[in-house]
Amino acid sequence: MNNFNDKINLIWQIAESLRGVYKPEKYGDVILPMCVIKRFDEIISEKKADILKAYKLYETFPEQSQEELIKTELDGLDFYNISPFGFDNLTNDQDHLKENFIAYLQGFFFKYQRHYRSLWFQQRYRQTRQKTINFFHVIQEFNNVDLHPNKVDNQTMGYIFEELIRKFKENAEAGDHYTPREVIELCMKMLFMGKSDEIKTKGKVISIADFCCGTGGMLSVGQKYILEQNKDAKVELYGQEINDESYAICKADMLIKGQDTNNIVFGNTLTDDGHKGKHYRYLISNPPFGVQWKKEQSYVTSENVTYGFSGRFGAGVPRVSDGSLLFLQNMISKMVDDESGSRIAIIFNGSPLFTGDAGGGESNIRKWIIESDMLEGIISLPTDLFL
């Protein structure tokens, strides 16, 4: 079971056991959290006895102090689980499986606690346990999937998780959380065209950012692309996402990959700049197609008027019916201003390229980009590609 495709196929077989209870595109509601939890369970498996011993030692301490002391005792471990349960013994008591599984989930403590236990694992399970799912079968089958770091390194685990996300999201709403893999790969080729020498520099630190990152698919493909060119490169991934479930999945994926999950920020990119004052070498995004920004209009207009080009929207604001060019201006504001500079790849529908009268918001933004010599090329993609 060391083969990447074997593991994907085995997990997908578990997913298909949910047929009839879930639609195929909803299998991920169960399988993605289980996959992540199983990975975490494997990571701490050899340390479980030490974790329980440390917890017993500091059990009466206030929770915050307790967490710090336990992590210190365990050499700064980013997460741990204080319950006596794990995938190896959860199925020993089938009559109390659900109660024990809840206790197991509640036993997780993370360095970034709110992004995992409260936001995703427990919420998703609360929704799931109302379904007539054979959890005994699911947990038992996952126990047969070997995701131990000795067998599956962080990079491979990231690929497995990303491939599962792709399979579960490929039927999602067009332009929402899923971008066809072929489109992302095309973006990467354009993004890194002519940058081969830079990418292949030994020990090179390369930053990639996506401020509509969804579950992190574009960031993951970018990392993979660079590491295929230079396995010694250090790829740092940054993002922001407004959808709480997608955000939680992305954070989990980043943790699996060994990335700093602080780099993934929750919130509305237009009104709550999670990367204010920061700059990145490569930027990529697929912002929502044709989505109104009326709720954000007051804030965006105020930033435009108050800060001009010192802010993010100095070139102007488009009509409220489509905020795509606002996301692009935000990306431009994050470009590195040095000799190497930055490069952006962004996916639009046709609207931002031609709508708006001369002298209007869209026209002025396009004019500024062209006159500033920032536009390298436009690629026309086939129609209905995102359906």
Within-domain flag for 387: no
Same domain assignment for residues 32 and 18: yes
Kind of pairing, strands 234-241 and 282-285?
unpaired
Within-domain flag for 385: no
Within-domain flag for 328: yes
Same domain assignment for residues 301 and 354: yes
CA distances from 378 to 98, 211, 347, 370 (A): 53, 21, 10, 12
Same domain assignment for residues 225 and 88: no
Within-domain flag for 40: yes
pLDDT given at position 117: 41
pLDDT in tens, 338-358: 988 899 999 988 888 888 778
Q: Which helix (H) or strand (E) holds 32?
A: helix 28-43
Same domain assignment for residues 56 and 103: yes
b/e map 59-75, b = 16+ CB within 10 Å? eeeeeeebbeebbebbe
Q: Is the pLDDT of residue 130 over 80?
A: no
pLDDT in tens, 320-341: 989 999 999 999 999 999 988 8
Q: What is the pTM of this model?
A: 0.79
CA distances from 315 to 72, 312, 367 (A): 50, 8, 9
Q: What is the spatial distance between Cα 331 and Cα 108, in angstroms, rounded to a whole number?
A: 36
Return the bridge partners of 265, or none: 240
Same domain assignment for residues 8 and 146: yes
Q: What is the tally of structural domains in the chain?
A: 2
pLDDT given at position 386: 64
pLDDT given at position 237: 97
Which structural domain range is residue 130 located in? 4-151
Same domain assignment for residues 186 and 203: yes
pLDDT given at position 235: 94
Same domain assignment for residues 191 and 239: yes
Within-domain flag for 386: no
Burial of 136 (0-12, 13-18, 19+ CB in 10 A): middle
pLDDT in tens, 292-302: 899 999 999 99
| Tokens representing residue 163 in the block | 């491939």
Q: Are 335 and 274 in contact (CB under 8 A)?
A: no
- List Cβ neighbours of 113 (8 Å cut-off, separation of 6 or more): none
| Tokens representing residue 249 in the block | 């999945």
User: Side-chain half-sphere of 347: how many Cα atoms within 13 Å?
Assistant: 30
- CATH label of the domain that carries residue 264: 3.40.50.150
